[in-house]
Structure 1
């Protein structure tokens, strides 16, 4: 049995894009590692010294089963970040909780809505912010994101099943893009800047590649690095948890870079964009195994 199991899902048995780099980086540190499906019944999780959730990119569709699995695993071995952190982070209302607990931390305003509160909640959001983004409370990859500016907006026909969160549309994402900062062991170690699709996709606000977005490695911006580290520190204090890894997504809002997502479950390392993240993550794992 390898020292480390890297959890993925059925459609990506070899892990995230560039995933071959991670076992190699761990091997350079004398650590054996293997990609395995999180829902594979034949995996002996207890035989591994450490489990790292990496590309379990179906968890949002199977959340109860995924959390049950995570709780079983952490009873048997070391699971980075841990099941209760996963449960908290899977519900995007954590952003409102984070903002309330850390008044000095810039966070994109976030309000919950469900079927019963949809009309009143959206009405209040339109009055406060104008154009808004509605997205599933548990979701990933931009799936189900809807932009709307009035209650009879036909785009709301595309809503996924409740519940949702509603946020102001950050229009500057079309110009300034989104930033992802990787925070390992509490320290910002890398930055990837992402842009929405170019000409011909004026209404698109998602930066994911499947929607025409693009990503590039850039030198870390000190302001964004400080905000990302502060967000992870605030979450660590709020949850009383050891947060080994995080990806903090930031958007330009109200004159500052504000937290739009704090990814603590399975943030892709963008290994195909920034191969050096394999060594950074391997160093983190090696430190946890000492």
Structure 2
């Protein structure tokens, strides 16, 4: 007699700092259960996890990867086809040089220059006037610096040793903040506005930033869809889910970053993001028959 298929297993990947999952994870847990899936939160560096047993592996809150990138990419390369977005997308997206790639493709972007040395940073920052310097590998806004005089810039003793990317300081960050559109299965599904505090340009909550759900606008949705389509054209890989961050620069909305590796979906603010994500995961989780 044929054995009945078992419930597909989904592994949701996190890190030691967030062992129970990302903020608002309960919404995703419920949505996956409603899709008939068994889901567990596991740490990416837990040697006891049987990744081969999973039908789908979805990276969610691995927010320590920037300090251990080689290990993280090594882990991802061993997971196999069950890994959503996949190691090639991760390798490209975890190095902010991808912003230069996107800029070269014609996508509306915050202007970005790559800088391998201190002298590269100085030249780029001097070109932009007031500049933002970011580590090429960085997460959560860590290591970001605002440089007002590039000619004398040096990395701080406890700062990032490089390489970097350099962008102009976009003035609208102070009053409009940053807009993020969530893309799932090729479709824009929701939007948030993020504002920095009065003492920092970073919109992350740990630096005093705040966020709120706003109506998905046509302008932002079209740019987000264009951004993800551009990535797919560049890499030739499927992008199942991601977040496109934007700012208004010189009168138009432009992309500031695209998060495709471990994009926070802000489920604590937008719990309904869990529904299309669960549907996308279910569509890729074939019932096991062995």
TM tier relative to shorter chain: over 0.9
Matches of 2:175 and 2:84 in 1, distance apart? 36
**Contact 1:146-1:156 at 8 Å conserved across structures:** no
**Contact 2:125-2:166 at 8 Å conserved across structures:** no
Matches of 2:92 and 2:240 in 1, distance apart? 16
Show structure 2 runs of 5+ residues with no match.
Answer: 1-6
Matches of 2:125 and 2:15 in 1, distance apart? 38
**Contact 1:148-1:156 at 8 Å conserved across structures:** no
Show structure 1 runs of 5+ residues with no match.
Answer: none
Once the two structures are superposed, residues 179-222 of structure 1 have per-residue CA deviations (whole angstroms, 9 ceiling, x without a partner) of: 11001111110101100114xx2xx1100001110010111011
- Correspondence 1:137 to 2:136: yes
Select the residue among 8, 27, 46 that pairs with 2:33. 27
Select the residue among 1, 11, 31 that pairs with 1:5. 11
Instruction: Give the secondary-structure state (helix, strand or coil) at the position aligned to 1:192.
Output: strand
- Correspondence 1:37 to 2:37: no
Instruction: Give the secondary-structure state (helix, strand or coil) at the position aligned to 2:170.
Output: coil
**TM-score, scaled relative to structure 2:** 0.92
Please identify runs of 4+ aligned residues in structure 1 that moved more than 3 A. Answer: 153-159
**Equivalences for residues 190-269 of structure 1 within 5 A:** 190-198=190-198, 201=199, 204-269=200-265
**TM-score, scaled relative to structure 1:** 0.92
Matches of 1:161 and 1:141 in 2, distance apart? 17
* Counterpart in the other structure of 1:128: 127
Once the two structures are superposed, residues 153-178 of structure 1 have per-residue CA deviations (whole angstroms, 9 ceiling, x without a partner) of: 58856631211111111121010110
Residue 91 of structure 1: how far off its partner (Å) = 0.6
Once the two structures are superposed, residues 213-269 of structure 1 have per-residue CA deviations (whole angstroms, 9 ceiling, x without a partner) of: 001011101111100100000000100001101100001112111111110100011
Matches of 1:212 and 1:127 in 2, distance apart? 28
Matches of 2:243 and 2:89 in 1, distance apart? 14
Residue 149 of structure 1: how far off its partner (Å) = 1.6
CA pair 155-94 structure 1, distance change in 2 beyond 3 A? closer
**Contact 2:179-2:247 at 8 Å conserved across structures:** yes
Q: Aligned pair count?
A: 279
* Counterpart in the other structure of 1:18: 24
Matches of 2:97 and 2:189 in 1, distance apart? 26
Q: Which moved more, 1:156-165 or 1:1-10?
A: 156-165
* Counterpart in the other structure of 2:113: 111
Instruction: Give the secondary-structure state (helix, strand or coil) at the position aligned to 2:75.
Output: helix
* Counterpart in the other structure of 1:64: 70
CA pair 124-244 structure 1, distance change in 2 beyond 3 A? same
Residue 122 of structure 1: how far off its partner (Å) = 3.0
Matches of 2:115 and 2:156 in 1, distance apart? 13
Select the residue among 91, 95, 110 that pairs with 2:95. 91
Instruction: Give the secondary-structure state (helix, strand or coil) at the position aligned to 1:91.
Output: coil
CA pair 164-280 structure 1, distance change in 2 beyond 3 A? same
Greater RCO between the two (CA within 8 Å, min separation 6)?
Answer: 2
Residue 30 of structure 1: how far off its partner (Å) = 0.6
Instruction: Give the secondary-structure state (helix, strand or coil) at the position aligned to 2:77.
Output: helix
Once the two structures are superposed, residues 86-134 of structure 1 have per-residue CA deviations (whole angstroms, 9 ceiling, x without a partner) of: 0000110101111112x2x2111111112xx322x23432342110000
CA pair 94-215 structure 1, distance change in 2 beyond 3 A? same
